[in-house]
Structure 1
Amino acid sequence: MSPEIDPRYDIDGDVYVSPRYLAATTGIGDPALQPLLAVGWDLQHDDLGNAYVNAPDRRVRLGYLPEGEDDGLWRINAYKDPFGPPAWGVCFNDRTPTEFVQAFTTALAAAYEQGPDAYLARPTSSSDDHSPFLVVTPLLKQGWELGRPRGGVFAITAPDGLAGLEFILGDLDPEAELTTRDARWQLWAGTSIDRRAWYATASTDTPVALLTAVTQCVSDPALLPRWQQDTYSYIKGMAQLTPILPAEPPAPTPLDVQRAAASRRPAALPAPSVPRWSTTSRPALPGPRR
């Protein structure tokens, strides 16, 4: 049975991409910004075209940085103190499918509405709503394979080996987690570490609910629409691209069949006309003489 089309996303493209983690970015940031703007976050731009979104209490900030210094297109940080160091940070690079970022910002908007206990909730080792194991649960349900820890890295990989989630064990440098790819969590798709289609990183104290929203979206079997010309060349050989066909017309109803049959019946012939004489009729013309 083929995967179903996800009705939450508008169809904008000429192919569906499967698996969805091999889809490219849509190149449009609005869908991922909208969940935060809808709950009253402030949007500003700089002269280069970068966008900055701030929570009303200034404790959560998002940067959409197409003109940034590296490939970190999306950077989201949260703060216990608006003037202190970030409590957690997340980065999505410039090739990450926009739907995955939107899943994160949608969960972030919901957590912010609940308050600091939700959007600053630290993961815990107990089996509660903040257990890191919840992050990998959606992946396991879709057949991703859990590997043994190697070199201090706990990894789970997609069935085709073209995507994975890594969790680094041990102590990490908090500053490095926020400024490099040496973060606690790293989600990726591609063929190798040097040929990644996209990647996302999250620091140690990123709330579990926010990360789980992303892994649920990544592992969703529904297809994503894309324009084939915008699909990365090295992905085309790995992903399944299904042409988007126009919708089939609806099946005819019994009334439609009756109307069609009636339209094909020959029309009744008119009755022949009989000439009649009247007082206004012209007299017959005389015939030729014999």
Structure 2
Amino acid sequence: MLPDPLPDPFKGFDPAQPVVVLPRHLAGPGQADLRTIWPFPFDDGWHLHPADEGMVFASSPCARLWTRFAPAPERRGKGTWTIGANRIPFGPRAWQITLDATTPAELLRDVHAELLDLYLEDRSSDQDPLFEDATAPHEVYTPLLARGWSHSVKTDGTQTFLAPERLGSVRHRYATTGSDGPIWRAWGGDPSEPHWQARFSFGAPTTLAAAFTASLVSTEPLQRTVQDVPFHTRRHLYAAPAAAKQPPTSPTPAPPTAAAPVGRTR
């Protein structure tokens, strides 16, 4: 006999009802606002570069670090957030991180906050944490194991961490020989058609991947409206009515104003 289907946590809720939900990887994108996702001090040397068709760039004062939002509402991921770094200004790209625009906004915010911290550390250190990161890989996946994610290892040099309900995953390619794919890849939603994906290339600081997974499995609930939560995974959510109404989701993030630096999330 097949098990009874899980109850709909939003049964009887109005579509506009604000709710708080967990786990984060199934919450939906939420409020995509550059003013919160990019914590960079634009009044202290960081540059903002609006471009055509809604694309926006930000770059560091040293011109070695940049991040970009490129909307693509007609595509599944609704666009891409990209972070990149060059060892010399305007030189070849040393590493890159790409995240779908449908990635929960809180994860995007936490990665960019960690990026700013890493940049400030790089600027004041005789090391080079943007390119010679000393963070061990286990700092990325230990939080997953602590939250009940399963672990499997394959002979192709990859290990995979799967969410308890099997609707989220983080894959680590620990053997890099003969492949140019991402070192870390994460997704949330149905495995055949993930609602969002994130990829960290070879050379991307492990510190940033660790900030991403720490945010991914955080037990701090996310605020959404019922209509913003992906329908096909909502039966696997823990949900409760929110105390206050969430601002409406912006289809295209607004350019940020000057912002003060944000501390580390881990």
Q: By the TM > 0.5 criterion, same fold?
A: yes
User: Which residues in structure 2 correspond to 1:180-219 (within 5 Å)?
Assistant: 182-192=181-191, 194-219=192-217
Which residue identity lines up with residue 183 of structure 2 in the other structure? R
Q: Kindly tell me: are residues 184 and 222 of structure 1, through their superposed partners in 2, closer, same or farther at Cα, counting changes over 3 Å?
A: same
Q: Please state if 1:17 is matched with 2:21.
A: yes
Q: Deviations over 1:77-112 (max 9, x none)?
A: 011022322111001102100110111110110111
User: Which residues in structure 2 correspond to 1:136-151 (within 5 Å)?
Assistant: 136-151=141-156
Q: Secondary structure at the match of 2:170?
A: strand
Shift of residue 119 of structure 1? 1.8
Q: Kindly tell me: are residues 38 and 201 of structure 1, through their superposed partners in 2, closer, same or farther at Cα, counting changes over 3 Å?
A: farther
Equivalent residues of 2:82, 2:97 under 8 A apart: yes
Q: Secondary structure at the match of 1:131?
A: coil
The structure with the largest alpha-carbon Rg is 1
Q: Aligned partners of 1:87 and 1:34: how far apart in 2?
A: 23
Q: Aligned partners of 1:38 and 1:140: how far apart in 2?
A: 40
Equivalent residues of 2:46, 2:60 under 8 A apart: yes
Which residue identity lines up with residue 46 of structure 2 in the other structure? W
In structure 1, the partner of 2:39 is 34
Relative to its length, the structure with more strand (as a share) is 2
Q: Aligned partners of 1:111 and 1:141: how far apart in 2?
A: 25
Equivalent residues of 1:29, 1:64 under 8 A apart: no
For these two proteins, the number of residue pairs brought into alignment is 221
Q: Aligned partners of 1:137 and 1:36: how far apart in 2?
A: 32
From 47, 61, 83, the counterpart of 1:76: 83
Identity %, equivalent residues: 26
Q: Kindly tell me: are residues 147 and 197 of structure 1, through their superposed partners in 2, closer, same or farther at Cα, counting changes over 3 Å?
A: same
Which residue identity lines up with residue 154 of structure 2 in the other structure? P
Which residue identity lines up with residue 108 of structure 1 in the other structure? L
Q: Secondary structure at the match of 2:154?
A: coil
Q: Kindly tell me: are residues 81 and 20 of structure 1, through their superposed partners in 2, closer, same or farther at Cα, counting changes over 3 Å?
A: same
Q: Aligned partners of 2:154 and 2:236: how far apart in 1?
A: 27
Q: Deviations over 1:6-25 (max 9, x none)?
A: xxxxxx97011111111111
Q: Secondary structure at the match of 1:119?
A: coil
Q: Aligned partners of 2:73 and 2:82: how far apart in 1?
A: 10
- TM-score using structure 1 length: 0.70
Q: Deviations over 1:237-276 (max 9, x none)?
A: 3323321246xxxxxxxxxxxxxxxxxxxxxxxxxxxxxx
Q: In structure 1, list runs of 5 or more residues that go unmatched.
A: 1-11, 123-128, 175-181, 247-290
